[in-house]
Structure 1
Amino acid sequence: MSSPSRAPRHTLSRERLVAAALDLADSEGISALTIRALASGLGVKPMAIYHHVANKDEILDAIVDAVYAETYLPRPYAPWREELARRTRSVHDALNRHPWALGLMETRKAPGPANLASHEAVLEVLLTAGFSLGATAHAYATLDAFVYGFCLQEVMLDSIDLAGSADDLLAGMNLTGHPRMAQFAAEHVLQPGYAFGDSFEVGLGLVLDGLEQLRRSA
């Protein structure tokens, strides 16, 4: 097996490094993202990576920031409900493209500019819409809990291929004594056109309805 060709000297940039790290995480998972693997994919020696980043944490900060950069920044003087709905959908879409980011989005101790801009924009929308500081905290936490939780469920269901093997999965379950589960499976999950993802818009609407009640009470 031939070794990867080396990149010409002085061609490695931070932008190219971050793009390669993002591609590696997308294709092989976050556990595959190591300095050695990244250097191999770029055709450089591992020490060349350290000319652009101090350590792996800095790479993680950068690729998480790249995911935030793909999300919509809500505008504070447009209707808050529509703006936050659009922002939440964009987070959902970004996490579907980069499922490895699900466990990292809120963990960075050195957030990048897109990360900070995203948080600032959501806070500005909520406060401009009349949410109190306390209500803003509850609203933001609820929105993020909904979208992150929904994406986590999608990842888990994808891992067992619910969409492609629901019949086989249910055939392996003994639902005797569980009539509601049997009914739900037969009359809903196994029906043509069923998709777990269809619940996203329903759930988002319920969350936004609840936030409106919270805003009014504040």
Structure 2
Amino acid sequence: MAQQVESARRVPLSRDRVLRAAVALADEIGIESLSMRKLAQQLGVVPMALYKHVANKEQLLDGMVDVVVGEVDPPVRGSDWKSAVRQRILSARRTLRRHRWASQVIESRTTPTPVVLEYMDSMIGMFRDGGFSVDLTHHVMHALGSRMMGFTQELFDDSASSDAETPPAVSHEMADKYPYITEMAMARAHDAESAVGPGCDDQFEFEFALDLLLDGFERLHRQGWTSTEH
């Protein structure tokens, strides 16, 4: 450890190095435990040295999002729009599976960074290059929402209830009051390695919904759908 810190001190500090070190540290200890002090310790510098490259914690988080989004594969050239969009979104999902804290940070940002704007612009461009009108593309982007970035926002976080053992009496009461919820809960088979943690956002369900959306977009595009007609 001492040798690693000493080696880190000899490498010049830069904004890129600070951000990539922050991403690696968040991968290791979680985003909640990340602090400027711990990051400085990891880099073998005093905390004040970081502020030459990031003004504050919020700017650090913005930069970390940029690093993560920058890892998403670029659009596939020469493919039809549907394949290109699907491959890009699934690449984004693979990226978030490597950085499981990232969806939480992306959701917390109030203003998109230039890297995120470039990503969104390229996504829009894939639909426009595929012949979609500006009108339809606008509604497509709303329909995709966070799925465009590789994750979905669940209505409820059921990870706590699924981990705890429910007393039999409570289970029977739940089944009587909410039979269809209970039926679905008993039948589900979810992926504990979801990009957004335990819950309903496993890989199969993500791709299932993505393909439904893409098929729907394709149908509307072929029909020449416009919002002014509805």
The interval holding the TM-score normalised by the smaller chain is 0.7 to 0.9
Query: How far off is 1:76 after superposition?
Result: 6.3
CA distance in 1 between counterparts of 2:106 and 2:83 reads 23
Change in CA separation of 1:211 and 1:177 when aligned onto 2, cut-off 3 Å: same
1:180 is matched with: 180
CA distance in 2 between counterparts of 1:44 and 1:21 reads 13
Letter in 2 for 1:181: I
Query: How far off is 1:53 after superposition?
Result: 2.5
Q: Is the 8 A contact 2:72 2:88 kept in 1?
A: yes
In the superposition, the TM-score normalised over structure 2's length comes to 0.73
CA distance in 1 between counterparts of 2:78 and 2:17 reads 36
1:209 is matched with: 215
Q: Is the 8 A contact 2:103 2:151 kept in 1?
A: no
CA distance in 2 between counterparts of 1:32 and 1:169 reads 30
1:87 aligns with 2:88: yes
Q: Which moved more, 1:71-80 or 1:203-212?
A: 71-80
**Cα RMSD for the two superposed structures:** 3.3
3-state DSSP class of the match of 1:66?
helix
Extract unaligned runs of 5+ from structure 1.
none
CA distance in 2 between counterparts of 1:104 and 1:119 reads 17
Query: How far off is 1:170 after superposition?
Result: 8.4
Change in CA separation of 1:112 and 1:177 when aligned onto 2, cut-off 3 Å: closer
Letter in 1 for 2:94: D
3-state DSSP class of the match of 1:105?
helix
Change in CA separation of 1:105 and 1:8 when aligned onto 2, cut-off 3 Å: closer
In the superposition, the TM-score normalised over structure 1's length comes to 0.76
CA distance in 1 between counterparts of 2:77 and 2:139 reads 18
1:42 is matched with: 43
CA distance in 2 between counterparts of 1:10 and 1:134 reads 50
Letter in 2 for 1:143: L
Extract unaligned runs of 5+ from structure 2.
192-199
